[in-house]
Structure 1
Amino acid sequence: MRTLMIEPLTKEAFAPFGDVIETDGSDHFMINNGSTMRFHRLATVETATPDDKAIISIFRADALDMPLTVRMLERHPLGSQAFIPLLGNPFLIVVAPLGDAPVSGLVRAFVSNGRQGINYHRGVWHHPVLTIEKRDDFLVVDRSGTGNNCDEHFFEEDERLILAPHQ
């Protein structure tokens, strides 16, 4: 099994998979009579049809044992999905490029600095949320509507990957 090397999360490195939601280096302007800085259009919510709705949820995630064997990835073909950490803790992100099925050799892993969120583009393969802390909360922006919006791909045993513990 190949061990996934964990990369720092940057806008450039993550661009093929989605958006990094962060204030560092992002466009902003003042609002509310100069008392508030608005960091504008950090990500775009994607939906498949005009009847779909963007919704906001909170996910409470428990940490998985490390090292983790990556056995599966999922994708949301009908909408984007954003994760914004609420408690300021770093978290792990495992992704693969768009395609009919993820290719094990193209899977990448990133770590957020705890002040960065991510927005998976519609159809991008990714692992379900991976918290480093024992338990963590995330604000999630995704799609609600008709149709199946979650495809899962389970890797054959010889395609599985190891995600080493984050240092």
Structure 2
Amino acid sequence: MIEAPCRLQVEPLTIEAFRPFGEVLEASDAVRHFTINGGNTERYHDLARLEPGADGRLIVSIFRGLPRSLPFTVSMMERHPKASQAFFPLSGRPYLVVVAPPGEPPTAATLRCFLAGPQQGVNYATGTWHHPLLALDAVSDFLVLDRAGEGPNCDEVTLDPVALIPPAG
């Protein structure tokens, strides 16, 4: 017998709600910031703990994600056991972030789904389970900071039962 999918509630992405999974990258009054460059620039300082892992190096890439349609079935998750991975949107569009705590492989019941605003990035802490890029509405580019180095750094699991992200509204 096939189990019905677990229905995920889409939550707003906030610093507090995302803390168990990593950091939210955003220019807001909720983070440390100060004026630099002779008063011409506001610096939002030290937003994430970027971890390249032992024998790794931090690299910068751009990922171009095809849009996903809702409802969307979450049938797999991945994690990077050696390093963190940060995403920052470049296309001015919201996107979805599906995560589960580091450690044992996740189940549909342990997933959380966040709606990230067009000016919010995320940094997945080392080992945090997450779904690959979930762009919405149109092809979207993301600046990505992650690890290059020896050895595999991506574990994937299949969910059974799956989870469902319902349509907006």
Q: What is the TM-score normalised by the length of structure 2?
A: 0.93
Residue 115 (str. 1) matches residue 119 (str. 2): yes
Q: Deviations over 1:112-163 (max 9, x none)?
A: 111110000000000001011220000001111011110000112xx21111
Give the match for residue 146 of structure 2: 142
Q: Which runs of 4+ in 1 moved over 6 A?
A: none
CA RMSD of aligned residues (A): 1.1
TM-superposed deviation, 1:103: 2.6
* One-letter identity of the residue aligned with 1:28: H
Give the match for residue 163 of structure 1: 165
Give the match for residue 39 of structure 2: 34
Report how many residues are paired: 164
Q: Deviations over 1:36-75 (max 9, x none)?
A: 11111011111221x3111110000001232111100000
SS of 2:105's partner is: coil
Return 145-154 or 30-39, whichever deviates more.
30-39
Give the match for residue 154 of structure 1: 158
TM-superposed deviation, 1:100: 2.5
SS of 1:16's partner is: helix
Q: What is the TM-score normalised by the length of structure 1?
A: 0.94
Greater fraction strand = 2
User: Percent identity over the alignment?
Assistant: 48
- 1:132, 1:104 → 2: CA distance? 21
| Match for residue 103 of structure 1 among 102, 107, 131 | 107
Q: Unaligned stretches of 5+ in structure 1?
A: none
Q: Unaligned stretches of 5+ in structure 2?
A: none
